[in-house]
A = this chain, B = another copy of it.
Amino acid sequence: MDIQNYKLHKKILVAVDCIIFGFDGSELKALLIKRGFEPERGKWSLMGGFVGEDENADKAALRVLHQLTGMKDVYVEQLHTFTDVNRDTAGRVISIAYFALINIAAHNKQLEQEHESRWFPLDKMPALIFDHKKMVEKAKAMLRQKVATHPVGFELLAKKFTLPQLQNLYEAIYETELDKRNFAKKMLSLGILKKLDEKERESSKKGAFYYVFDTVKYRKMESNALKFI
């Protein structure tokens, strides 16, 4: 290191911002808030917060997510740290961006009103403050990459889901159409889905069998180098 005394260096405000993904059955969405304070009050923004003295960034992200959604045990993952000198118009703030995957149905809708938050389809996002658009773009890229090799797509669905639902999710993430025969074949061949005896009967007359993600089987797999797509 150049200068050796910690005290000679300026400290910086450290924030976290969360890209919260949800899936409504046909579209992939992100949860945004109307910023309630200056600067940029009233503009659309990612949910964020400052990292406190007694918490690491992961905790800060989970805290912030809980505030907005009422949910704990959310799947979050650190994405990238944004550090440009003038990224925040109110002063030097670096932001550690996280992406979160939640079951859109499970979050507390009352809190949506408090925070003036709203779900936006990814292709219909409003203008965002600061560098938040960059964050969303990066999160989208990471989601695609992650979901191709790790069983995290399930986080966006209810515990029980049907194969057509899962396929819709992948189609939304990759903005592409998939052949359902090939899709079912591949997903089932991974050996991490457990078929239930129960059917979902909302979206079709015939009904589609529910599946659950088999965590136990997944953990037992040596390699964990799956290919979902």
A residues near B (Cβ < 8 Å) are 1-6, 9-14, 36-38, 47-58, 63-64, 67, 78, 80-81, 83-85, 90-94, 96
As for how many copies of this chain the complex holds, the number is 2
Assembled-state Cα–Cα distance A169/B81 (Å)? 30
Which 7 A-B pairs give the minimum distances between C-beta atoms? A11-B11, A4-B37, A57-B83, A9-B50, A56-B83, A81-B81, A1-B49
| Neighbouring B residues of A12 by C-beta, 8 Å | 11-14, 51
**30 A-B pairs whose Cβ atoms sit less than 8 Å apart in the complex:** A1-B36, A1-B37, A1-B48, A1-B49, A1-B50, A1-B64, A2-B49, A2-B50, A2-B67, A4-B36, A4-B38, A6-B50, A9-B13, A9-B50, A9-B52, A10-B11, A10-B53, A11-B11, A12-B12, A12-B13, A12-B51, A14-B83, A51-B83, A53-B85, A55-B85, A56-B85, A57-B81, A57-B94, A78-B80, A83-B96
Assembled-state Cα–Cα distance A37/B4 (Å)? 6
Closest Cβ–Cβ distance, residue A97 to chain B (whole Å):
10
Assembled-state Cα–Cα distance A10/B15 (Å)? 11
Q: Considering only CB atoms, which chain B residue lies closest to A67 in the complex?
A: B2
Docked-complex contact A11 and B13, CB < 8 angstroms: yes
| Neighbouring B residues of A51 by C-beta, 8 Å | 12, 83, 94
Closest Cβ–Cβ distance, residue A82 to chain B (whole Å):
9
